[in-house]
Amino acid sequence: MSREPFRGTYTVLVTPFTADGAAVDLKALERLVEYQVSEGVRGLIPLGSTGEFLSVSRDERAAIVETVVAAARGRVPVVVGTGTEDTREVVALSKEAEAQGADGVMIIPPFYSVPTLPELMHHYDTVAQAIGIPIMVYNNPATANVDMTPAMLAEISRIPNCRYVKESTLEATRVRDIVALCGDRMEVFAGVLGYESAWLGAIGWVAVCSNVAPRLSSEMFESAAFAADRDTSLALYRRLAPLLPWVGGPRYVSGTKAAFRLMGMDMGPPRPPRLPLPAEDIPALARVLQGIGLMSIAAQAAE
């Protein structure tokens, strides 16, 4: 059964692999979940873009979801990424996630066919009718080749089970417009601009940086979105900001995994075609982590 409402910072988890990349490291995944929950993250999202969902097999997907749900032990919601190109496959993956105990699913639109609004409506409605847990629609035009504008989301929000959206453009005013057009039918999670979106009505943040900085990320968002404490939230944001280029842009997976390795919490390499962060970039990333105290925090959590 879904535990709603979803609120706060949800980490879109990396998928740990063994050193040779041949298998999912489920023990490392268990440790990652414990690190996230103990450091104050409000929810977990396995098999998102950061989780390299296109680079794992169907059996690996099932093992990842089973591990995250079991390790979370009901302490925080688990929202599983189930997006793919074929509506039938999305239905199957979403039903499987629900059967495994997921609290919701996050669904990016089909990313090759470039669906029209009627096609998107049919896609999401088909999935919504097949499951009893909520859908977080995922708008990421940079990777999905389709931009679900606020006006389009207003239509999609009329599908009863599409109750959340992860808004991943770099236009913070999208949050304002989605709130205005969707009302209480659909609530907004920031996908990139966590700090900025918090002040415009976002009630959550699907964050990559919270993989390595869960407490800092969560406290920054909550102090803005829920406490309206500008001084605290801005100070936390400025502390977090040097990390963001390393876990954003085209190297977000390799940068996040490199940070974990530096922190003594190895999550293995990314799977090709992604490659590890170049060696020449490691010293600069290490200085960032040292500067915000993440090395010692993670080392203590891993003991």
* Residues recognised as catalytic: 138, 166
The residues facing 138 across adjacent strands are: 166
Whether a cis peptide bond, with omega within 30° of 0, leads into 5 is yes
Residue 174: partners with Cβ closer than 8 Å, 6 or more residues away: 150, 167
Rounded to an integer, what distance in angstroms lies between the CA atom of residue 54 and that of residue 51? 9
Q: Which two tokens stand for residue 82?
A: 């189930």
State the CB neighbour count (10 A cutoff) for residue 135. 27
DSSP 176-232: HHHHHHHGGGSEEEESS-HHHHHTTT--EEEESGGGT-HHHHHHHHHHHHTT--HHH
Among 227, 225, 245, 243, which residue's Cα sits nearest to residue 297?
A: 243
Helix axis angle, 230-240 to 214-225, nearest 10°: 150
